[in-house]
């Protein structure tokens, strides 16, 4: 974190950060330890509060299976050159059922890989279009809806959008 473009929050920073916010952020992290992005977010309590709530729900409460959500997060990290995001989500993807081979394929043209099934390819098409060009072709959305239903399609689109926000924040502030 030595090249971070703002001074990260420290435990003794005044004014004091609400204890319930710190507890909620730590609860989302392995071992209960704040990571680099948390310490930058804590420069703004309203931002940290909203971010923790939104990303906590994306990570833990969506019906779209975690393996698929982590696949989306990794692809967004690759497309936006967010190395910190890759570092956080790579082990999470593997724990959720992903493979190292798929991780390597995500770094290239994943759509050309025979490693991914039709569900994964549909989510990768969604992720690539939304991240690269913002607009997503209707046929891509229709395929995701056919495979996952409308509620999980909304969650997939929200996962792509949320992790584009995350990666842009990380890259802009050199986290």
* Domain ranges within the chain, ordered by starting residue: 1-61, 66-172
Q: Which pLDDT score is estimated for 153?
A: 98
pTM of the model: 0.92
* Regions of the chain short of the pLDDT cut 50: none
The pLDDT score that the predictor gives to residue 148 is: 98
* pLDDT given at position 15: 66
pLDDT value at residue 30: 85
pLDDT of residue 110: 75
| Domain spanning 66-172, CATH class | mainly alpha
Please write down the HEC assignment for all residues of the chain: CCCCCCCCCCCCCCCCCCHHHHHHHHHCCHHHCCCHHHHHHCCCHHHHHHHHHHHHHHHHCCCCCHHHHHHHHHHHHHHCCCHHHHHHHHHHHHHCCCCHHHHHHHCCCHHHCCCCCHHHHHHHHHHHHHHHHCCCCHHHHHHHHHHHHHHHHHHHHHHHHHHHHHHHHHHHCCC
């Amino acid at each position: 974190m030595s090249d971070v473009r703002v001074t990260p929050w420290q435990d003794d920073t005044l004014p004091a950060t609400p204890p319930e916010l710190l507890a909620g952020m730590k609860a989302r992290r392995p071992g209960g330890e704040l990571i680099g992005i948390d310490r930058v977010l804590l420069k703004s309590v309203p931002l940290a509060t909203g971010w923790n709530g939104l990303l906590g729900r994306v990570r833990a409460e969506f019906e779209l299976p975690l393996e698929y959500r982590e696949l989306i997060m990794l692809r967004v990290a690759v497309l936006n050159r967010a190395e910190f995001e890759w570092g956080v989500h790579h082990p999470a993807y593997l724990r959720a059922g992903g493979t190292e081979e798929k991780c390597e394929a995500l770094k290239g043209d994943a759509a050309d890989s025979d490693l991914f099934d039709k569900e994964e390819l549909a989510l990768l098409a969604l992720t690539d279009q939304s991240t690269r060009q913002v607009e997503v072709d209707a046929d891509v959305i229709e395929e995701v809806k056919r495979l996952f239903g409308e509620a999980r399609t909304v969650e997939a689109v929200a996962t792509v959008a949320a992790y584009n926000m995350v990666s842009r924040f990380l890259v802009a502030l050199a986290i």
